[in-house]
Amino acid sequence: MPERLPSESPAGLAGRRLLVLSPVLPRRTSGGEIILYRHLARLAEVETVVAVAAGQASPLGQTLDITAPPGLRTGIQQGLERLTRTRLAPWARAIRWMLPARVTVPCNLKRLREHIRHHRPDVILTVAHGDQAWLAMEMSAEFDVPLVSVFHDWFPAYLTVPAWARARLEAKFRRLYQQSRVAFVVSESLKQVLGPHPDAVVLYPIPGDSSIAPLATPSAPVRQKPLVLGYLGNLSGNYGGMMRQLWETVNGQSDLAVRMWGPPPDWPAAVLQTCREDGSYGGYVPLETLHTADVLLVVASFAPEDATLMRTNFPSKLVEYCRFGKPVMIWGPEYSSGVQWARQHKAACVVTEDAPEAVITAVRRLAQQPDEWQRLALAAQQAARTLFEPDRLQAQFVSGLMRAIRQ
């Protein structure tokens, strides 16, 4: 059963001042940016004062430009920046993470400090994904302002640094977690990896426009047409490689089709052109396009180098998919967070073999099981109405901010 909704009213944040000091900005794009934007945009309804400390404009609240002009960059900052363009880049990155952020991050510290002194924010909010997260930790301690951090994954896994620096970087990441008065973590597995915390909350990615209603009565597809396996999301890197293999395996089969939407794949031009011509790749589309698919696919990388990220992140497309009254299929390793979620809630079909043929077999088997088809579609709907319900997730977010302020 989902957790009970927090009892605090969002009106408790009315008139409060929130400083967003984060490497991830609240913007209407994708990934962590749009998730942060969706949460903060809702705070406008209760007239919370949001200031975004950024090097570029944000469509949300007041933008505090803390970009450091080239003339204000220190010798250390300029030297490390030059080294990151050489073969010594891993060492430069390691040194940059080890030193205090106020020394290495090129920003207008004077303007930032003046803003904090003059406006005295009630809380500093950051996303644990880079330079300004360390800076947020330092400014929180310097001015005794509560820090709230959002952890979307195990950020150190993205960084290429020498072995001697790995443990130190991970320790700094955990220190950010411990010094956050409230920590929002995206999955139970990430919470376990980060360790004990007095107020760590699992906060799933908040979905978009809730007016896109799932189908009222999910049912098996009409069998006179090919069964469409739909995927909306990243089509580059390992995800793109998996989807290309699946498309090539399905291509030419009369009973199945793969439809992919999202940013252009990093595939050879000839392959991409073929996908466009046969309708397999449709570019950017509204979410409503998912209604044209029969089964909605989530993928998680099987690559060993991605194992930590697959364990700790949570597929944001899953929260979007569940609203459409379709069976959801998750293709990924057993340890991935999406597969673990599906096992726990029995709300998605899972394929844990990396061969695309295993996906095809699973889809065909599901098509022959109308009761299981409908059960999975209803289970996804139920998740959309409970675990992934936007008002519920926003209530968790607001409640966490209010606890951080009151403590």
At 287-334, the pLDDT tens digits run 889 989 999 999 999 999 999 999 999 999 999 999 888 999 999 999
pLDDT band at 79 (very low <50, low <70, confident <90, very high): confident
Judged against a pLDDT cut of 60, whether residue 1 lies above it is answered with: no
Taking the CA atoms of residue 298, residue 304, residue 309 and residue 311 in that order, the dihedral angle to the nearest 10 degrees is 70
The answer to whether the beta carbons of residues 208 and 217 sit under 8 Å apart is no
C-alpha distances (whole Å) from 324 to each of 97, 223, 331, 385 are: 42, 19, 19, 11
pLDDT band at 61 (very low <50, low <70, confident <90, very high): confident
- Does residue 6 sit in helix, strand or coil? coil
Judged against a pLDDT cut of 80, whether residue 71 lies above it is answered with: no
- Note the pLDDT of residue 2: 43
- Does residue 231 sit in helix, strand or coil? strand
| More confident call, 254 vs 360 | 360
pLDDT band at 5 (very low <50, low <70, confident <90, very high): very low
- Note the pLDDT of residue 70: 64
Judged against a pLDDT cut of 50, whether residue 20 lies above it is answered with: yes
Please give the structure tokens belonging to residue 272. Answer: 């991409």
Over residues 370-380, mean pLDDT: 93
Over residues 342-367, mean pLDDT: 96
Whole-angstrom Cα distance, residue 196 to residue 92?
31
**Taking each helix axis from N to C terminus, what angle separates 370-385 and 356-367, rounded to the nearest 10 degrees?**
100
pLDDT band at 21 (very low <50, low <70, confident <90, very high): very high
pLDDT band at 159 (very low <50, low <70, confident <90, very high): confident
Mean pLDDT, all residues of the chain: 89
Whole-angstrom Cα distance, residue 144 to residue 132?
17
- Look at phi and psi of residue 144 and say left if phi exceeds 0, alpha if psi is from -120 to 50, else beta: left
| More confident call, 78 vs 271 | 271
pTM, two decimals, is 0.90
- Note the pLDDT of residue 94: 78
- Does residue 65 sit in helix, strand or coil? strand
- Does residue 373 sit in helix, strand or coil? helix
- Note the pLDDT of residue 64: 86
- Note the pLDDT of residue 46: 78
Judged against a pLDDT cut of 50, whether residue 142 lies above it is answered with: yes
The answer to whether the beta carbons of residues 186 and 152 sit under 8 Å apart is yes
Task: Identify the H or E element spanning 125.
Answer: strand 123-127
Above pLDDT 90, what percent of the chain?
65
Q: Among 16-30, 183-197, 212-226, which stretch is predicted with the lowest mean pLDDT?
A: 212-226
| More confident call, 82 vs 307 | 307
| Locus of tokens 């919370």 | 48
Over residues 49-68, mean pLDDT: 81
